[in-house]
Structure 1
Amino acid sequence: MFRDRQEAGQKLGASLEALQLKDPIVLALPRGGVPVAAEIAKTLKAPLDLVIVRKVGAPGNPELAVAAIVDGNPPDVVLNREIVEVYALGDSALRVLIAQERPELEQRRAIYRGKEPPLSVAGKTVIVVDDGAATGTTMKVAIRALKRRSPQRIIVALPVAPPETMDELAQEADLTICLNQPARFRALSYYYGSFPQLSDSEVLDMMALAHEDRRNAVDKTRSGTNAASKLRHGAGT
């Protein structure tokens, strides 16, 4: 059991730090993935961003996803082809269903990003983070969309998930890290001492703090580099 999402992120961060990753960028699935990812980004001194996914429900069964839209420029649509075939959905029907969900995705984007574009993942080591996964469906959609954006590699980082879910995610990502894989998976909250529901304002506050920590870390590194450079020049005179 983890004390809270922050402790889970710290433990994941330690595991990832040992890998000495090149050009990592941390992407959180909001809302619950944000406090976990923020701790990872802090440990790795890496930029933090969000990957926003909106499910597209089947006709008459909104809980069953026929597709998902992943925010980006432009957004990516990932189809669940098995469900599309079961419902015999043609292109025009899919377009209608997807169009119905676009406003919600755009609203989420406006809340979390304003007019800021998502960070580019091209050539980067992308670490996709959530606070846990039962089926891993949203994570799989995010990975498939991110693959289209030319990352160097994709790593899944989760505090807890069932072994069968991690097996499926291992087929999608280049590397998976999961700290706890219980054979009999219970509700996600069972694995945390504190597991509050998060509001959009709390997510925004966490993102702002993470960005400030990142700026401070970059400024500190630059100051150290400049100081070392002056010492070297001084020694050479």
Structure 2
Amino acid sequence: MEPDHRVTLRVKVADDGSIHTFTVQVLHNDVPKSERATEIRGIIDPLLDEVPLSDADRQAVREAVDGEVENETGDTEWSSEKGGTFNVRTSDDITSVAVGESSTEFMPRTPLTEDHQPFLDELAARGWQCTTEDISIDCTTNGPGKIVGTLSTAGQPNNEPRLVEVRVWFGGAVPGPEDQRMIDAYEALAAVGDRGEVAAIGLRKLAEGEKLFFNSDVEFYRGDAYYQVQGVQFI
């Protein structure tokens, strides 16, 4: 599959082996939504037949995938007291579908590190000026672009803030893998430990041309104006 065409399927299986939730994401640049919808239908149609939905609910999900609404959410009569939900989201190059049983269990976004201070210290040592306000980290230097981070306390131990997202924003030309700001970002991520080293490798792959991929519980995405490293939120 070419770099700008990626398909991701995640399935959460209950203790009895039944499907609790499934999500499908198709990234395909420069194709109409209808083409991505056809690809997604080929993936989800067999799954829809395996989950405890009514025929009307299955049809509602399929119509949402085939339709023109960019973000559609609905309730389903999942065969449990909790019921179920579905969500279909579409952007210029990504269509995603989530179907499953309703749950009151909150799953936090996976942190990139338990301690983000080494990330900030490394950037400071490399000449970046970072400010932290509430959940946002904003780092600038004399060069173009900036590096920003997002912190989250939701679901984290003792409600302590954890770094869950890093973006390298462009300023002018798109930076290549050897651009100084990219090297600074690699080293800052690597400074937080083994997980950060993996994140740094993934960030470099974005700069080398990859569009969207996952490594365990981290998502890597190349937007029109930024490279993004983000912890996955599974539900």
With structure 2 as the length reference, what TM-score do the two structures score? 0.25
Higher helix share: 1
Task: Give the TM-score normalised by the residue count of structure 1.
Answer: 0.25
Higher relative contact order (CA 8 A, sep 6+): 1
Q: Which has the higher strand share?
A: 2
